[in-house]
Amino acid sequence: GEDVEQSLFLSVREGDSSVINCTYTDSSSTYLYWYKQEPGAGLQLLTYIFSNMDMKQDQRLTVLLNKKDKHLSLRIADTQTGDSAIYFCAVTGGFKTIFGAGTRLFVKA
């Protein structure tokens, strides 16, 4: 079946850029997302990209999509302590969305 993989942890210093990577198997995915989950809360949609795009920028966030390699990345510029959270990659095809296991981002002051 479809699979989405992410590394489980990332640690960066405050002010540096963070890059969270994701690979997926379903080449028919139409929407690809990044969600953010803070402790004790549900997932919050952070940004998304359509499968016919290769880059999207939204303030401090940059999403890159390499369809050939089925690789999605999220870059957070000028990472702040408030960015500490779990980040989930997710891909949608049809009615279902498949989520990765999440990358826990630690931001050191």
Question: Could you give the CA distance from residue 40 to residue 30 in angstroms, rounded to a whole number?
Answer: 30
Minimum Å distance from CB 14 to other proteins? 26
For residue 88, state whether it binds other proteins (rule: CB under 8 A). Answer: yes
For residue 53, state whether it binds other proteins (rule: CB under 8 A). Answer: no
Judged by CB, which is closer to other proteins: 3, or 54? 3
For residue 93, state whether it binds other proteins (rule: CB under 8 A). Answer: no
Residue in 36, 17, 34, 21 with CA at minimum distance from that of residue 77:
17
Judged by CB, which is closer to other proteins: 36, or 79? 36
Q: Which residues bind other proteins (CB under 8 A)?
A: 1, 4, 8, 31, 33, 35, 40-45, 48, 88, 92, 95-97, 99-102
